[in-house]
Structure 1
Amino acid sequence: MKVINSVIKLVIFIALACAQSSVRAEDASSNLSFEDLSLEQLMQVEVTTVSKKAQKLSDAAAAIFVVNSEDIRRSGATSIPEALRIVPGLHVAKVDGSRWAISSRSGAGLFSNSLLVLIDGRTVYSPLFSGVFWEQPDLLLADVDRIEVIRGPGATLWGANAVNGIINIITKESSKTQGLLATAGYGSELEGTTALRYGGEVGENGNYRLYGKFQNWDNSETLTGAESSDDFDSKQGGFRADFGLGADDNFTLQGDIFDGDGGFEASIPSVSSPTYSSLLSSRKKWRGGNILGRWTHDVSESSQTSLQVYYDKSDRKDVVLNHDIDTLDIDFQNTIQFNNNNQTIWGLGYRRIEDGIENITETVVLDPDSRAVKIFSGFIQNETLLADEAISINLGSKFERNDYTGFEFQPNARARWSVTDKSTLWAAASRAVRTPSRVENDADIAFLATPGTGGLANLLVIEGSDALNSENLAAYEAGYRYQAAKDLSIDLAVFYDRYDDVTSIEMGTPTPILSSSPPYVRVPYVYDNMVNRDVFGGELLVDWEVTDAWKLQASYSFLKVDVSLDSGSTNLTGTTGEDSDPVNKFTLRSLLNLTDEIEFDGFLRFVDSVPYYSVDSYLELDLRLGWHITDDLEVSILGQNLLDNAHQEYVADFINVTPSQIERSVFGRITWRYDS
Structure 2
Amino acid sequence: MRRINLLWILLNCAVAIPGLFNAAYASYTDDLFISDDALPEVLTATHLYQAPAAVPGSVSTIDQELIEASGARNITDLLRLVPGMLVVPDSSNLGTVNYHGTSPGQARRLQVLIDGRSVYRSAFAQVDWSDLPIALEDIQRIEVFRGPNTVSYGANALLGVINIITHSGKDTHGTLIKGNIGNNGIRDSYARQAWHSTYSDMRLSISSLTDDGFELRKDGSDFRDSRRLSRFNLRANHQLNEQNSLDWQLAFKEGSNQINNNYQSAFAGKINPQPWEQDSNSDEQAKDYAASLRWNSNINAQHSLSVQTNAQQWERLREWRACDAQISFSSELNELWRTSSFAQRERLRRLKPIGNPSARQAVLQNWLIGQLVQPGALAHSCGLINENSRESRFDVEVQDTYSVSEQLRLISGLSYRYDQARSASFLNGRERKDIFRAFSQFEFYASEHWLLQGGGMYEHDSSNGDSFSPRFAVNYLVTPAHGFRAVYSEAVRSPDMFENHADWQYRVKDLRPAIAQNSNADFFISAQGNGNLKQEKIRAFELGYNGYFAPQKLSFDIKIFNEKITRMISHRPSLISFSLNNDDHIKFYGSELEGNWQATEKDRLRISYAYIKDQASNSLDQNVTPAHSGSLAWLRNWNADWSSSLMFFAAEQLNQNDLQLLTARLSRKFQLGSTRLQLAGSLQKTLNNQPIGRTNNKDNSHDTAYATVQLEF
TM range (shorter): 0.7 to 0.9
Q: Is 1:555 matched up with 2:621?
A: no
Quote how far apart the aligned CAs of 1:544 are.
2.7
Residue 334 of structure 1 is aligned with which of 374, 384, 400? 400
In 2, Cα distance between the equivalents of 1:407 and 1:146?
Answer: 34
Q: Is 1:666 matched up with 2:666?
A: no
Partner deviation per Cα, 1:518-556 (whole Å, 9 max, x = no partner)? xxxx97542111112111111111223332111111111
Contact 1:337–1:343 (CA<8 Å) still a contact in 2?
A: yes
In 2, Cα distance between the equivalents of 1:442 and 1:155?
Answer: 23
| Distance change (3 Å), C-alpha of 1:264 and 1:525 | closer
- Aligned position for 1:80: 75
- Aligned position for 1:299: 299
- Aligned position for 2:559: 493
- Aligned position for 1:189: 184
When you count strand as a share of all residues, which structure comes out higher?
1
Contact 2:659–2:686 (CA<8 Å) still a contact in 1?
A: no
In 1, Cα distance between the equivalents of 2:582 and 2:471?
Answer: 24
| Distance change (3 Å), C-alpha of 1:223 and 1:539 | farther
Aligned-pair identity in percent equals: 23
| Distance change (3 Å), C-alpha of 1:103 and 1:404 | same
Amino acid at match of 1:475: A
Per mean C-alpha deviation after superposition, the further-off stretch among 184-193 and 208-217 is 184-193
Residue 216 of structure 1 is aligned with which of 210, 214, 231? 210
Quote how far apart the aligned CAs of 1:346 are.
0.5
Quote how far apart the aligned CAs of 1:575 are.
3.5
- Aligned position for 1:313: 313
Per mean C-alpha deviation after superposition, the further-off stretch among 430-439 and 58-67 is 58-67
Contact 2:487–2:541 (CA<8 Å) still a contact in 1?
A: yes
| Distance change (3 Å), C-alpha of 1:184 and 1:481 | same
- Aligned position for 2:460: 401
Amino acid at match of 2:486: A
Partner deviation per Cα, 1:656-675 (whole Å, 9 max, x = no partner)? x977542411011111111x
Amino acid at match of 2:537: N
Match runs of 1:349-360 below 5 Å:
349-359=415-425
Q: Is 1:129 matched up with 2:124?
A: yes
Q: Is 1:477 matched up with 2:509?
A: no
Q: Is 1:371 matched up with 2:366?
A: no
In 2, Cα distance between the equivalents of 1:377 and 1:602?
Answer: 44
Contact 1:638–1:666 (CA<8 Å) still a contact in 2?
A: yes
In 1, Cα distance between the equivalents of 2:399 and 2:251?
Answer: 24
Contact 1:329–1:350 (CA<8 Å) still a contact in 2?
A: yes
In 2, Cα distance between the equivalents of 1:561 and 1:395?
Answer: 28
Where 1:247 maps in the other structure, the secondary structure is coil
Structure 1: segments with no counterpart, 5+ residues: 1-36, 360-364, 448-458, 507-521, 565-573
- Aligned position for 1:207: 201
- Aligned position for 1:7: none
Per mean C-alpha deviation after superposition, the further-off stretch among 90-99 and 548-557 is 90-99
When you count helix as a share of all residues, which structure comes out higher?
2
- Aligned position for 2:684: 640
Q: Is 1:428 matched up with 2:487?
A: yes
How many corresponding residue pairs? 589
| Distance change (3 Å), C-alpha of 1:421 and 1:190 | farther
In 1, Cα distance between the equivalents of 2:287 and 2:309?
Answer: 21
Contact 1:96–1:660 (CA<8 Å) still a contact in 2?
A: no
Contact 1:460–1:525 (CA<8 Å) still a contact in 2?
A: no
Quote how far apart the aligned CAs of 1:331 are.
0.6
In 1, Cα distance between the equivalents of 2:86 and 2:577?
Answer: 32
Where 2:657 maps in the other structure, the secondary structure is coil
Match runs of 1:210-249 below 5 Å:
210-224=204-218, 225-249=220-244
Quote how far apart the aligned CAs of 1:461 are.
6.8
Quote how far apart the aligned CAs of 1:462 are.
5.9
- Aligned position for 2:257: 262
| Distance change (3 Å), C-alpha of 1:446 and 1:41 | farther
In 2, Cα distance between the equivalents of 1:328 and 1:229?
Answer: 34
- Aligned position for 2:510: none
Amino acid at match of 1:195: Y
Quote how far apart the aligned CAs of 1:583 are.
1.7
| Distance change (3 Å), C-alpha of 1:503 and 1:43 | farther
> TM (normalized to structure 2)?
0.78
Contact 1:228–1:660 (CA<8 Å) still a contact in 2?
A: no
Amino acid at match of 2:579: V
Q: Is 1:347 matched up with 2:400?
A: no
Partner deviation per Cα, 1:438-457 (whole Å, 9 max, x = no partner)? 1101225699xxxxxxxxxx
Quote how far apart the aligned CAs of 1:112 are.
1.4
Amino acid at match of 1:496: N
- Aligned position for 2:390: 324
Partner deviation per Cα, 1:625-654 (whole Å, 9 max, x = no partner)? 01112272211100001535x4422239xx
Contact 1:80–1:138 (CA<8 Å) still a contact in 2?
A: no
Quote how far apart the aligned CAs of 1:328 are.
0.6
In 2, Cα distance between the equivalents of 1:108 and 1:101?
Answer: 9
Quote how far apart the aligned CAs of 1:480 are.
0.7
Contact 1:96–1:659 (CA<8 Å) still a contact in 2?
A: no
In 1, Cα distance between the equivalents of 2:571 and 2:239?
Answer: 53
Contact 1:647–1:662 (CA<8 Å) still a contact in 2?
A: no
Amino acid at match of 2:616: V
Q: Is 1:581 matched up with 2:625?
A: yes
Match runs of 1:527-606 below 5 Å:
527-564=580-617, 574-606=618-650
Quote how far apart the aligned CAs of 1:471 are.
0.5
